[in-house]
Structure 1
Amino acid sequence: MEREAMEFDVVIVGAGPSGLSAAIRLRTLAAESGHDLSVCVLEKGSEVGAHILSGAVIEPRALDELIPDWRDKGAPLDQAAGEDRFLFLTKGGALRLPTPPQMHNAGNFVVSLGNVCRWLAEQAEALGVEIYPGFAAAEVLYTEDGAVKGVATGAMGVGSDGEPTPQFEPGMELHARQTIFAEGCRGSLTKGLMTRFNLREGVQPQTYGIGIKELWEVDPSVHTPGQIVHTIGWPVPRDVYGGSFLYHFGANLVSVGFVVGLDYRNPYLSPFDEFQQWKTHPKMRPIFESGRRIAYGARALTEGGWQSMPKLTFPGGVLVGDTAGVLNVPKIKGTHTAMKSGMLAAEAVFEHLKAEATGPVAGYQEALKTSWMGQELKQVRNIRPSFKWGLWGGLAYSAIEAYALRGHAPWTLSHHEDHAALKKAADCTPIAYPKPDGKVSFDRLSSVYLSNTNHEENQPCHLTLKDDSVPTRVNLATYAGPEARFCPAGVYEFVADGEGGAQRLQINFQNCVHCKTCDIKDPTQNINWVVPQGGDGPNYPNM
């Protein structure tokens, strides 16, 4: 069956902060100048916000620029940030450290980023933006001369054998004069664009972290509205970049999460189990033991910053947000930078279309680098890579950067590919994690249940392998099967393959929370994450 096609001036892939900000800015510019500009946003989640996961503390600078009267319009930024606390944990104690200047949160807000995106979508639709949730962009479309001409959504009703079922519906083509890719971290379409247009030429490799988050309703006696706590140290080994956050907001709610840099070396390390163990610390356990866990999720995040940012423009399209790598890691914030990148892209795309120009959009990358967000990223560019010297080396260097160099060092430290960091299992010590107690620590499957993840089972597996033999022949034999540990959702499982003790990799794709960690950390880069059927995946409430 042939696919139908729809025509727009601009198609935006992803209804996160950057994509929605781009849509709002485009329609605002069109209204101010009297131009008619059709804008469409595709969202793979079942609704806007369904796949949005972040801490989150928002710095409102970009929102002030995008929608100056956001307070009057009822934006869900209700909890002002309060006291900042920065703790170093040992196994049994905690030492309060000075809060680094980048982590001061006066004037910021503790939010559910999913709810902020739902509100942004309402503002976009009020301006005439067409938003289509439940439609996953599965393919980039190209013109005869090789420029991007839009995207196609995935077909619905394809069976697990790859053949159409009676419910089959072909995807839809969305053609555009410009396509803005706002897919978030490790976008599946963006990966192809990087290769096709050589967008990473001349820049440092991108590096990533995995963020695992839970939402708790806690006893009022341990709830401090607006309090923001970050920790480093136990239980993460000293050679691993990582730490935690606790954000108190709303009606006795605490957003709690753990971030582990995906450049860790020991294949026995499990970010999920590190997080569960962390909650048992004597300083943390009292917060949770009388409460209840109400949501769970996980998401990879780009940590490379300034020196890892790819080329952002190519014929027919641009990159924005976390897919472009604009997270400010030392600040532990990316919403304001993602929104600003979307706004700057919108302004450049609008001028490009108004002038009926050809070729890649001009001015966007330079505008981003010279803007306040670009300068913000440049100033902290050396802090994340300094942790290659371990916790103490990274803290020492970060202090020098923050208080003395202030981003003006005449050097730029480099990153490396995360998947290449893993050592062989034979060279590492296995890690024995305590069993979950079911009160403050939990297993993967009970956690995934709280993410409301759902995938139609009779569809092709969206976690594809380039070579089916590699998981056992290489990953299991050499690295002790790290995919069973780096996945926070129990997707990858080595099971007995008949008699004789042989094992095979079983992929429970129905559990996938779309974090993209497997696509990043697989040591052989054999796993390729592609979009499942539109609308499938997690459905995060208030995350």
Structure 2
Amino acid sequence: MTPHQLLEQFGPREAMDYDVVVVGAGPGGLATAIHLKQLAQKAGREISVCVLEKGSEPGAHILSGAIMDPGALTELFPDWKAMGAPLNQPVTADQFLFLSETNAKPAPAAFLPDCFKNHGNYVISLGNLVRWMAQQAESLGVEIFPGFAAAEVLYDEQGRVRGVATGNQGLGKNGEPTDHFALGMELRAKYTVFAEGSRGQLGRELIGRFKLDAGRDPQSYGIGIKEVWEVAPDKHQPGLVLHTAGWPLDANTYGGGFLYHLEDRKVAIGFVVGLDYTNPWMSPFEEFQRLKTHPAIRGLFDGAKRLGYGARTITAGGLLSLPKLVFPGGCLVGCEAGFLNASRIKGSHAAIKTGMLAAQAIADALAAGRAQDELGAYPEAFEQSWLHAELKTARNFKQWFKKGRLVGTLMTGIERWLLPRLGIKSPPWTIHHHVPDHAMLKSAADCPRIDYPKPDGVLTFDRLSSVYLSNTNHEENQPAHITLKDVSVPVQINLKTYAGPESRYCPAGVYEFVKGPDGGDRLQINAQNCVHCKTCDIKDPTQNIVWVAPEGGGGPNYVGM
């Protein structure tokens, strides 16, 4: 049955009204909700706030490196240390290695750009911080609904956003209601804040509907793949932050590795690959597994135990790719818009700051009796903020690396090391790019094939054993949340021209080309493996894959990520 037919038969949907509805309980969404309540308390007013979270709990779908710049958190909670925020391990040392296949050359500390220095920052689990922030939000009176995916944007007769509707529950694979069927609920608001993270499903709809990206550079993304290990006591260096560039990637592919030593003998190792890569034979997952075998890295994992695995895309285009932030009835915050500073490999502080700026604009609008208008005060405040200045300084970072590692490294050194020492805070030039990530793939015939070694099950692993560690689970009897606009495209175009890149760019084994009964190829979609990274939604060269949120609560259940 279609959604319209379901509404006709079972409707109308129940509805709840709030002043503000926030979609997504990540750092940006929770900061918005928290600051709204703080401002209301200060003014002696009431603002009703609801946060929807598609994960089973706040933090279940959160994955980041992560090095935390505590500046924005301090603005939100000046006494966060006394309050018990889980920022326990300060950064104690920075290292940057340029890797070849067998060697590692450290970048001289004196020439390391400030964007790669982390004094005053913390090595954290962002998932744990989000869980703590959710507790603070609830203590202030914010209503958080975990396990409910926002599936539909609601519009009024004038085309203004008036809230969201959660997805229907209890539909079978064929789309027909089961005995457990329940219609989704409408959550109506004077203002709706979208904080879904990178490549949010509803955010993408809003950007298209309101043409928020008109005149901007195409957004640019990366995929981040991460494992958490428990290492031997003599291998652990609490607070050490190590970044790598070079091998195993070629000189024209953006990306690099990271090793972050947390507390309690935990080490996070990860790899980021720009989704503007051109060789369809490349697999970001296998490149990450190769990284661990480098002579400068593999010794760390002698006697270690792998505890967790996950993957997520990052929105990395920076200031030049930021869409317009507001539209009638709502706004975008955090990685939904793309506030990550790729040069610092940090976005959580930006998410919190933008959430606070949006909250101030909303609180002022509500105090003035306004509703569902365009929150112009939010982008105006952003343009006057320290965050805008930070992103303006870094605006060319990803653009330079689109020209190759040599150019990117050289120009990053000039812009982020030399110019500041000449008293020039921001480069006097701006570099643009014009090609979206999905259009960057070359044909497989024009690229060198990459054959990856089989995993050893000790240091390197396959996708399925990795997904197992992500605690991913989906209700099996539900409509597929990954579908194709045209079922012939994967074989007729993607396989024929690009050698089936979806089987390699997905870090969870969702896409698999198999032989049908007639001996022909077909694409099998193993949606139950999906970790909601959104790579397929971004990198599919024909933009034929449709990713929507499954039933609320489905997906990964990350611990300590």
Q: Normalised by the shorter chain, which TM-score bucket?
A: over 0.9
Structure-2 separation of matches of 1:365 and 1:508: 41
Are residues 1:476 and 2:489 paired? no
Structure-1 separation of matches of 2:552 and 2:402: 39
What TM-score results when the alignment is normalised by the length of structure 1? 0.99
Structure 1: give runs of 5+ residues left out of the alignment.
none
Equivalent position amino acid for 1:401 in 2 = E
3-state SS of paired residue (2:402): helix
Structure-1 separation of matches of 2:478 and 2:238: 44
Structure-2 separation of matches of 1:32 and 1:83: 40
3-state SS of paired residue (2:380): helix
Are residues 1:373 and 2:383 paired? no
Question: What residue is the counterpart of 1:142 in the other structure?
Answer: 155
3-state SS of paired residue (1:206): coil
3-state SS of paired residue (2:179): strand
Q: Point out the more displaced range, 419-428 or 353-362.
A: 353-362
Question: What residue is the counterpart of 2:470 in the other structure?
Answer: 451
Are residues 1:333 and 2:352 paired? no
Structure-1 separation of matches of 2:434 and 2:128: 34
Matches within 5 A, 1:128-167: 128-167=141-180
Pick aligned residue for 1:50 from 60, 64, 69: 60
Are residues 1:414 and 2:425 paired? no
Structure-1 separation of matches of 2:286 and 2:359: 41
Question: What residue is the counterpart of 1:364 in the other structure?
Answer: 378
Question: What residue is the counterpart of 2:527 in the other structure?
Answer: 509
Structure-2 separation of matches of 1:232 and 1:434: 21
Equivalent position amino acid for 1:353 in 2 = L
- 1:415 Cα deviation from its structure 2 partner: 4.9
Question: What residue is the counterpart of 2:312 in the other structure?
Answer: 299
Are residues 1:354 and 2:373 paired? no
Pick aligned residue for 1:530 from 548, 555, 561: 548
Structure-2 separation of matches of 1:431 and 1:267: 9
3-state SS of paired residue (2:225): strand
Structure-2 separation of matches of 1:288 and 1:100: 29
Structure-1 separation of matches of 2:557 and 2:537: 21
Identity across aligned pairs (percent)? 59
Question: What residue is the counterpart of 2:485 in the other structure?
Answer: 466
Q: Point out the more displaced range, 201-210 or 352-361.
A: 352-361
Question: What residue is the counterpart of 1:519 in the other structure?
Answer: 537
Equivalent position amino acid for 1:343 in 2 = M
Structure-2 separation of matches of 1:430 and 1:292: 32
Structure-1 separation of matches of 2:113 and 2:544: 39
- Counterpart contact for 1:52–1:540, Cα < 8 Å: yes
Structure-2 separation of matches of 1:25 and 1:153: 24
- Counterpart contact for 1:88–1:94, Cα < 8 Å: yes
Structure-2 separation of matches of 1:107 and 1:339: 18
Pick aligned residue for 1:75 from 56, 66, 85: 85
Question: What residue is the counterpart of 1:176 in the other structure?
Answer: 189
Structure-1 separation of matches of 2:16 and 2:236: 50
Structure-1 separation of matches of 2:22 and 2:15: 16
Pick aligned residue for 2:106 from 96, 107, 114: 96
Equivalent position amino acid for 1:66 in 2 = L
Are residues 1:17 and 2:35 paired? no
- Counterpart contact for 2:399–2:431, Cα < 8 Å: no
Are residues 1:4 and 2:17 paired? no
Can you list the C-alpha shifts for 1:301-340, whole angstroms capped at 9, x where unaligned?
0010000000110011000000110000010100001100
Q: CA RMSD in A?
A: 0.9
Number of residue pairs matched by the alignment: 542
Structure-2 separation of matches of 1:411 and 1:165: 56
Structure-1 separation of matches of 2:93 and 2:434: 33
Can you list the C-alpha shifts for 1:269-326, whole angstroms capped at 9, x where unaligned?
0000000011011111111131010100000000100000001100110000001100
Segments ≥4 residues shifted beyond 3 Å: none
What TM-score results when the alignment is normalised by the length of structure 2? 0.96
Structure-1 separation of matches of 2:474 and 2:426: 45
Equivalent position amino acid for 1:68 in 2 = P
